[in-house]
Structure 1
Amino acid sequence: MVSYIFVILISYLLGSIPFGLIITRLVKGVDIREYGSGNIGATNAYRVMGFGMGIMVALCDIGKGYISVFIAQQVFGSQAALILILAGLAAIAGHNWPIFLKFDGGRGVATSVGVLISLLPKAVLIAFFAWLVIVLTTRYVSLGSIIGAVLIPISALIFNSPATYVGLGLAIAIFVVYRHRPNIQRLLAGEENKIGWNMDVEKKEE
C-alpha cells in the first residue's frame, strides 16, 4: 500500500511541474499566465512565444504523463493495470491542479497524451491525426483537442483494448471536455481564438 501511495504521489508531483511557466520564464523572462489566455499549456505558449516554444512545452508536458506511467511500470510491472491508470490520472490531475501554482493549472491535454501513449498508443495515433486535420482546417486547437479526446475511447474499443484502458480513455475524454468548457462556449459564440491570429499578447483574455 505504501508503494502505491508513493507512486501516485510522485506522479502527481511530476504532473504539477509547470513547464510552460518555467520555460517561458527561463527563455523569455516572462510569466505566461499574464499573456494570451493565461493558460500554462503548450497552446498559449505557442500563441504568445511562437512555434518552437509551444513544441518545447508540449513535449515536456507529454513527458510528465509518460514518465509517470513508466515509473509505475518499473515498480509494479506492465500488467498492473490499476496502478498504471492511477499514476496516469495523478499526473493529469497534477497538471490541472498543480500544488506549485495554488492548484490553478492547464487543460491537461498534452499530459493526457503522454499517459495514453504508454497505454493506448494506437488510439492516440488515430486521435492525433484527427486533431491535426481539424487544427489545420479550422485553426481551432481547442476543437481538435476535444474531438481527439472523444476519439480515444472509441478507437480503444475498435482496437479491442482492455476494458480498464477503455475506461481510462473515456475518463480522460470526459475530463478534457469538462476542462474545455470555456472554449466550448467561445466556439459556440464564434469568439474562440484561432492559431495564427496576431494576438495582443500584452493583454490577458478575460
Structure 2
Amino acid sequence: MSLEYGTLLSLLCLAAGYAFGNFLAAEVVARCLAGTGIRNIGNGRASMDNIKKNFGKNAMFAVAAGDILTTVLACWFCYRLAAPELEHTAILYGGIGVIAGHTWPVWLRHGGGRATVMVCTWLILYLPVTGLLCCLAGAVVTAGIGATWGCLLIPCLAVPVAWLQFGMQSGLAAFAAAILLFWQYRKDKACRKNP
C-alpha cells in the first residue's frame, strides 16, 4: 500500500467517524421526551448531565447507550471500509473522528456534550484489555475523587499504553482524545461560571 493511499483511507475514516459523531443521542432523547431540540432544554448542552437534570436517570442511560452505539457503529464502519489496508488503525481514526464529531457537531452551535462514554468505548474497541483497564482506573478515581478527575484520567492513562502497544501514531491519537476531553471540561466549567 502506498503512503498516499494509506493517508487517503485514514482521512476517510476520520471523516466517516466525524459524520457518525454528529449524531447526538441527547438530541434524540430530548425530541422524544420533550418534543423539542436539546438547545431548548436546561442549559442547552447536548450532555448526559443536562438530560439527567431534566428527564432523570433512565433518559441519561438512553443517551449513554446511544453514544456507545454510535461509537461502535463508526468504528465498525471504518474497519469494514479500510481494514485490509489499515488493519486495526481504521478503528483508531474512526474513533478519533467520532469523538471530534461529538465535540463539534456541524449543526449545534454550543457544541456537543462530553465524549467520555465515546472515549471509553473507543479505547475498549481499540485496546481491548488495556483500554478496559484504563477505563476501570478512571472509574475508581471517579468513585474516590470525582467524575471530572476520573474521566480525564482515562485518556491520559491511554496515551502511554497506546504508544507502547501500537506505536507513536496510536499514542498521539490517545493524546488527541485527552486534549478533546480537557477542552470539553474546560468549556463546561466556563459555562457553569457564566450561565
TM score, norm. by length of structure 1: 0.74
After TM superposition, the structure 1 stretch with the greater mean CA deviation from structure 2, 91-100 or 107-116, is: 107-116
- The residue type paired with residue 61 of structure 1 is D
Name the structure, 1 or 2, with higher relative contact order (CA <8 Å, separation 6+): 1
Q: How far, CA to CA, are the matches of 1:67 and 1:55 in structure 2?
A: 18
Question: Structure 2 vs 1, CA of residues 22 and 56 (structure 1 numbering), >3 Å: closer, same or farther?
Answer: same
Give 2:102's aligned residue.
Answer: 95
- The residue type paired with residue 172 of structure 1 is A
The count of corresponding residues between Structure 1 and Structure 2 is: 187
- Give how far 1:81 is off: 4.6
Q: How far, CA to CA, are the matches of 1:52 and 1:150 in structure 2?
A: 29
- Give how far 1:181 is off: 1.2
Which residues of 2 match residues 47-58 of structure 1 at below 5 A?
47-58=53-64
Question: Structure 2 vs 1, CA of residues 13 and 136 (structure 1 numbering), >3 Å: closer, same or farther?
Answer: same
Which residues of 2 match residues 80-91 of structure 1 at below 5 A?
80-91=87-98
The answer to whether 1:162 aligns with 2:169 is no
**Identity, % of aligned pairs?**
21
- The residue type paired with residue 137 of structure 2 is A
Deviations 1:65-124 (A, max 9, x none): 222121111122165354433322221111111123247222222222232222122233
> Unpaired runs of 5+ in structure 2?
none
Question: Structure 2 vs 1, CA of residues 47 and 152 (structure 1 numbering), >3 Å: closer, same or farther?
Answer: farther
> Unpaired runs of 5+ in structure 1?
193-204
1:108 to 109, 115, 138: 115
Give 2:176's aligned residue.
Answer: 171
Deviations 1:133-169 (A, max 9, x none): 233334x322221122222224445xx4111322221
RMSD value, Cα: 3.0
Which residues of 2 match residues 20-31 of structure 1 at below 5 A?
20-31=26-37
Q: Is the 8 A contact 2:91 2:125 kept in 1?
A: no
